[in-house]
Structure 1
Amino acid sequence: MADDLSTPLTGRRDGARRHLPVARVLFGLLALIGLGFGLRIALVEDPNGGRPSQEVAITNTRNSNALANAVSDGKVTITADPQQYPIAAEPPPPPGGSTAIASLPDMFGALPDLSEETADGAIPRISATGQTPFAAYSRPAPPVAGMARVAIVVSGLGINEQGSLDAIDQLPDDVTLAFAPYGKTLANTVAAARAGGHEVLLEIPLEPFDFPQNDPGPQTLLTGEAPRANLEKLFWLMARFGGYAGVVNNMGARFTASAADFAPVMEELGARGLGYLDDGSSNRSLAAQLAAGNKMPFGRVDMMIDANPSPQAIQSALASLERTALESGQAIGIISALPISVSAVTEWSRELESRGVVLVPASALMQ
């Protein structure tokens, strides 16, 4: 028994059967298979060679819209009239020429090509083709045939919705309408004015000498403030609505007399292609000089029609404005949106041409 215990297991003399190393054999086989796949990938150029394959053509639908392709190629032009808003397709331009593309106006009649988006909303700008808001939104003047020309601007619209809509309905189309930037229903009133064919101006509040006792409204541009601060206010004011040909001051005797404060504002307005109408309330205004320096359309009101809002005084002022137009060839008057003033202008304008004077939009006297 001692001999059996001391004898190694692998060397038993009892004839016991030897066990095969199965795990090692399986591991070896797996290694050979893996080596075979590796050699195939490394040595054969197409691992999928011999397998059936088929090429299928893929149809691209990206350019299947013929109208869109024509527009993108410049063969079709989309235009918009601020009054009628038609869309028209034009023939291809001549060789070497180019055709501008414009989009439809928004609710105010403003064209997207003439608008720039800001944090406060869209404000006017000159288009990439050089068209200005003044040129795009001015109402064409009627033929004058040598007659004297007179323009009437109605100010203070937009705050009272019903009063504004009544004025828009009553007044002749050639009367220019100026809207304050504070009305809650500007979308309705400005759209109604533009749809009725009226030319539109934006009123901007400027500091008077007795500010703040006499306050033209929120976001008033003030003297002594940094130019950037006033320009930020201007951008807010310009974003209240669109489709206007220019601006007209609301008060501003102190502001318009300060070149340091007024010049950056006029430069910005000129760079955006807008006209400037001075309401004529201050003889110290530098508007004419600054407008000339910035090559922008400019006009100055000759008379405040309803400074005394009585029927007799308004009729007398209109007669005086008419005489000024006959003497100098043209004249601009401004009135408030009071019902009595609107009625007086409407009645006065009916027989105006028979007296040798034609009513024109204010922009016609700002060229």
Structure 2
Amino acid sequence: MTDELTKPLTGRKRRREARRSLPIARVLFGILALLAIGFAARVLMVDDPDGGRPSQEVAIVTTRNANEVANAVANGPVTITADPQQYPANGSMTAITTGAGGASSVTGLPDIFGALPDLSEETADGPIPRISATGLTPFAAYSNPAAEALASGKPMIAIVVTGLGINEQGSLNAIDTLPTAMTMGFAPYGKALSSTVAAARTSGHEVLLEVPLEPFDYPQNDPGPQTLLTGEPARANLDKLFWLMSRFGGYVGLINNMGARFTASAADFSPMMEELGARGLGYIDDGSSNRSLAPQLAQGNHVPFSRADVMIDSNPARTSILAALASLEAKAMENGRAIGIVSALPISITTIEEWSRDLESRGILLVPASALMK
């Protein structure tokens, strides 16, 4: 048997082996390299940003006058005639000082719509009230004057309307309906507090901030977010207080929302009352708890204070409200002064508005709450 490894290659086998040894891969790589070099040379040497695409320049000319007002303004002065019903010819415009803006002020509107800059301290939550460098307190700055009523010697009644700010339309109705001498208490949770508080103050109403305090049956009965609680560190409650105080500006003081447990705890209530005294704010106790330490703590911290005498609409029916108002009048005649608390329910607003019409004819004056705060 012949050894295949020692046999010489035939002619066909030689040709087959020659084809296998041709460098095909190198030839293809060289062709691709030449194409790449040629493309790069064209990019570098030919200035054609359109990449060889056909293009045509066309001049755009039009005689259409698309915007006559804009062309008139561009070519010369223009006279614009105002609506005579909106701006009568014999009317006038008065320049006003605008606010600085912020959480407690409305940019572009007078400072009366929010906190006065000298009476504001910036915090992480927004501006909160403080005593000015000249000693002016927010209580004095934002109180409605009542010197004439105080000097008259007549019995006086103050009514605080609470729960405003959450229902925007209901709040605006109460503000527009009730006499300006009535004080408005705003909850700190409304989405439109800036506009509702602004409406109250421009209408002449004095404003209070409602602060949620812990009741005995908390949390089953919850006054709302950021409620000040007993047993918590004083710093934690003050942080909540600052958040509440930054919701809007221009208020003379605070009034409690619930809080029978909190106001009975000197350890928890004292830091809050100390803060009010240091910031020149007043405090009204709604009178719902006989265990409240508010009178003693207010006196010890020089906080302008008063306690409500009657909860007017604890029974929200017209006859019950009128009976409560009669009791309020009797207290005013007996003590020379009385404070009533009423919610912003439509039946309550309508009833006390009708009651207030002839109050002065009965020898009693309606005054803002600050007038009856010591």
The letter of the residue matching 2:268 is D
Q: Is the 8 A contact 1:105 1:112 kept in 2?
A: no
Say whether residues 1:192 and 2:199 are aligned partners: yes
Partners of 1:216 and 1:107 lie apart in 2 by: 29
1:75-121 CA distance string (max 9 Å, x none): xxxxxxxxx9966xxxxxxxxxxxxxxxx954733200000010000
Partners of 1:284 and 1:86 lie apart in 2 by: 47
The letter of the residue matching 1:352 is L
1:355 aligned residue: 362
- What SS does the corresponding residue of 2:146 show, helix, strand or coil? coil
Partners of 2:203 and 2:246 lie apart in 1 by: 22
Say whether residues 1:364 and 2:371 are aligned partners: yes
Say whether residues 1:234 and 2:241 are aligned partners: yes
Which residue, out of 170, 176, 181, partners 1:174? 181
1:115 aligned residue: 120
Q: 1:307 to 1:187 in 2, by over 3 A?
A: same
TM-score (norm. length: structure 1) = 0.71
Q: 1:304 to 1:297 in 2, by over 3 A?
A: same
Which residue, out of 186, 190, 194, partners 1:183? 190
Gaps of 5+ in 2: 1-93, 98-108
1:144-203 CA distance string (max 9 Å, x none): 322100000000000000000000000000000000000000011000001101000000
Say whether residues 1:131 and 2:136 are aligned partners: yes
Say whether residues 1:155 and 2:159 are aligned partners: no
Runs of 4+ displaced beyond 4 Å: 84-87
Which residue, out of 325, 328, 338, partners 2:332? 325
Which residue, out of 159, 172, 185, partners 1:165? 172
1:143 deviates by: 2.3
Partners of 1:105 and 1:297 lie apart in 2 by: 27
Partners of 2:124 and 2:113 lie apart in 1 by: 19
Say whether residues 1:291 and 2:282 are aligned partners: no
Say whether residues 1:250 and 2:245 are aligned partners: no
The letter of the residue matching 2:373 is M
Q: Is the 8 A contact 1:248 1:277 kept in 2?
A: yes
- What SS does the corresponding residue of 2:140 show, helix, strand or coil? helix
Partners of 2:305 and 2:287 lie apart in 1 by: 12
1:336 aligned residue: 343
The letter of the residue matching 1:262 is F
Q: Is the 8 A contact 1:291 1:298 kept in 2?
A: yes
- What SS does the corresponding residue of 2:148 show, helix, strand or coil? coil
Partners of 1:85 and 1:139 lie apart in 2 by: 23
- What SS does the corresponding residue of 1:264 show, helix, strand or coil? helix
1:142 deviates by: 6.0
1:110-143 CA distance string (max 9 Å, x none): 2000000100000000000000000000111162
Partners of 1:167 and 1:353 lie apart in 2 by: 21
Partners of 1:253 and 1:320 lie apart in 2 by: 24
- What SS does the corresponding residue of 1:241 show, helix, strand or coil? coil
The letter of the residue matching 2:165 is G
2:274 aligned residue: 267
Q: Is the 8 A contact 1:115 1:124 kept in 2?
A: yes
The letter of the residue matching 1:245 is V
Partners of 2:194 and 2:331 lie apart in 1 by: 36
TM-score (norm. length: structure 2) = 0.70
Q: Is the 8 A contact 2:114 2:248 kept in 1?
A: no
Q: Is the 8 A contact 1:109 1:242 kept in 2?
A: yes
Percent of pairs identical after alignment? 74
Partners of 2:95 and 2:301 lie apart in 1 by: 31
1:209-260 CA distance string (max 9 Å, x none): 0000000000000000000000000000000000000000000000000000
1:51-82 CA distance string (max 9 Å, x none): xxxxxxxxxxxxxxxxxxxxxxxxxxxxxxxx
RMSD: 1.6
Q: Is the 8 A contact 1:278 1:287 kept in 2?
A: yes
2:46 aligned residue: none
Partners of 1:160 and 1:320 lie apart in 2 by: 29
Q: 1:143 to 1:85 in 2, by over 3 A?
A: farther
Gaps of 5+ in 1: 1-83, 88-103
